[in-house]
């Protein structure tokens, strides 16, 4: 099959859950012998790495906050049609605004949209942009031949709000190496097992400001307990430089708070592997890959109690009240006071995600969707990733 991946910023992933999703999916589809055309934006891609079966296609965009994605998607769809692709796979509700276009210019192809998150909940968008993204949700549920949702919460949302039956195929993880060097930690003056880790873009709805506030409050309440511990926040801005400056100002001269910027590869793997625990205070998500990755490394993750987090952390993590710095403060203190609990929860979390959220299985089920659309045959009665999925406990 000839498959176009459209909507992501580029390949390989430098940051962003959608980009990581597309990278891991495309790698595996390419190895299965498919031609995967991953559409990229030149401002994002800095690495020339590619993999078997992957064709990186660069198309133009208007690199502004509101026009970058939609213009890139438009030109990418036109190019994909000329490449005679069989599947147009659009990622996100913004790109879904144009999910009708392939049906006009290449009617023989099939259109798939993955609904990654309810983007209009993100604080970085103004009122007009949120209305457009709301229409993008409608498009994602109405126009494609198949809509995929990455969380059970989104599956229920599409059913309730748009009366659309979607295919549930979540995000995933790979099996981390058994041993990871600590060399990369020296760059940030970190000691293994002596820091909390958050990995996310620096955008307001991710809640880094809540985390920094809670961290400072916890240190004031229990200065001795927190001695030697650090808070590491990994991620770069996404048209949110003002928010990034606010975070730097909020952290102030507190040397225990480290903002590393974007990190990838061995450095990011080392930060996950040697953290004491993970933290994710986001107010809006789809199914966060960074939480799954922390769990796959055997880390106990403290996450806000939004439904998308509770799918994976209610039994295999810890949760605090979303947006509440006081609740987050108390949980940070409790975690340092309870290292046995943190270790136990992290161990169980690793087993859980490896059983239920592995990219190999996820790629297989995406491939199954494509084949079902192009060559209709009954799907197997039992599948690990359908709406009636039973999680392996």
Q: How many percent of the chain have pLDDT more than 90?
A: 82
The tokens for 357 are 């959220």
Instruction: Give pLDDT, residue 380.
Output: 58
Alpha-carbon span 207 to 327, nearest angstrom = 14
Instruction: Give pLDDT, residue 387.
Output: 46
Three-class secondary structure of residue 287 per DSSP: coil
* Residue partners of 338: CB distance under 8 A and separation at least 6: none
Alpha-carbon span 92 to 108, nearest angstrom = 23
Report yes or no: 300 and 317 within 8 Å, Cβ to Cβ.
yes
Instruction: Give pLDDT, residue 389.
Output: 52
- Indicate the pTM of the whole model: 0.87
Alpha-carbon span 386 to 215, nearest angstrom = 39
Q: How many percent of the chain have pLDDT more than 70?
A: 95
Name the β-bridge partners of 55: 37
| pLDDT above 50 (res 388) | no
Domain 183-355 has CATH 3.40.50.2000: yes
**Residue owning tokens 């798939």:** 112
**In 11-34, which positions are buried (b, 16+ CB within 10 angstroms) versus exposed (e)?**
bbbbbbbbbbbbbbbbbbbbeeeb
| pLDDT above 60 (res 382) | no
* Pairing status of strand 257-261 against strand 87-91: unpaired
| pLDDT above 60 (res 119) | yes
- Give kind and range of the element (H or E) at residue 248: helix 241-251
Instruction: Give pLDDT, residue 120.
Output: 80
Please, where in the chain does CATH 3.40.50.2000 lie?
2-172+358-374, 183-355
Instruction: Give pLDDT, residue 125.
Output: 75
Q: Both ends of the chain: CA-CA distance in Å?
A: 35
Angle (CA) 185-20-129 rounded to 5° is 115
Convert the pLDDT of each residue in 23-70 to its tens digit.
999 999 999 999 999 999 999 887 777 888 999 999 999 988 889 999
One CATH from 3.40.640.10, 3.40.50.2000, 3.20.20.10, 3.40.50.300 for 2-172+358-374: 3.40.50.2000
| pLDDT above 70 (res 88) | yes
- Give kind and range of the element (H or E) at residue 35: strand 35-40
Instruction: Give pLDDT, residue 6.
Output: 98
């Amino acid at each position: 099959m000839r498959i176009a991946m459209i909507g992501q910023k580029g390949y390989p992933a430098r940051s962003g859950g959608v980009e990581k999703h597309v990278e891991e999916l495309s790698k595996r589809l390419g190895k299965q012998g498919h031609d995967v055309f991953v559409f990229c934006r030149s401002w994002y891609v800095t690495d020339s790495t590619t993999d078997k079966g992957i064709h990186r296609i660069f198309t133009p965009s208007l690199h502004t906050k509101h026009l970058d994605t939609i213009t890139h998607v438009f030109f990418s769809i036109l190019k994909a049609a000329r490449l005679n692709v069989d599947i147009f796979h659009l990622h996100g509700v913004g790109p879904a605004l144009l999910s009708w276009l392939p049906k006009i210019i290449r009617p023989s192809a099939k259109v798939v949209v993955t609904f990654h998150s309810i983007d209009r909940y993100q604080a970085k968008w103004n009122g007009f942009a949120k209305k457009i993204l709301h229409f993008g949700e409608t498009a994602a549920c109405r126009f494609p031949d198949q809509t995929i949702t990455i969380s059970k919460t989104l599956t229920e949302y599409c059913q309730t709000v748009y009366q659309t039956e979607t295919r549930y195929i979540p995000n995933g993880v790979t099996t981390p190496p058994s041993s990871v060097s600590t060399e990369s930690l020296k760059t940030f003056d970190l000691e293994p097992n002596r820091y909390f880790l958050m990995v996310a873009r620096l955008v307001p709805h991710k809640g880094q400001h809540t985390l920094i506030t809670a961290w400072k409050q916890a240190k004031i309440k229990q200065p001795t307990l927190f001695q030697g511990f650090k808070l590491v926040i990994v991620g770069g801005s996404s048209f949110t430089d003002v928010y990034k400056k606010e975070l730097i100002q909020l952290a102030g001269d507190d040397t225990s708070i480290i903002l590393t910027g974007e990190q990838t590869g061995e450095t990011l793997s080392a930060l996950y592997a040697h953290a004491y625990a993970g933290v994710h205070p986001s107010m809006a998500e789809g199914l966060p890959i960074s939480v799954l990755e922390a769990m796959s490394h055997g880390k106990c993750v403290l996450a806000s109690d939004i439904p998308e987090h509770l799918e994976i952390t209610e039994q295999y993590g810890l949760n605090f009240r979303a947006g509440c710095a006081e609740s987050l403060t108390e949980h940070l203190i409790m975690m340092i006071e309870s290292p046995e609990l943190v270790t136990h929860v992290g161990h169980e979390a690793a087993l859980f995600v490896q059983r239920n959220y592995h990219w190999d299985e996820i790629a297989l089920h995406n491939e199954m969707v494509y084949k079902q659309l192009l060559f209709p045959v009954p799907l197997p009665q039992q599948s690990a990733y359908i709406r009636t999925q039973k999680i392996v406990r």
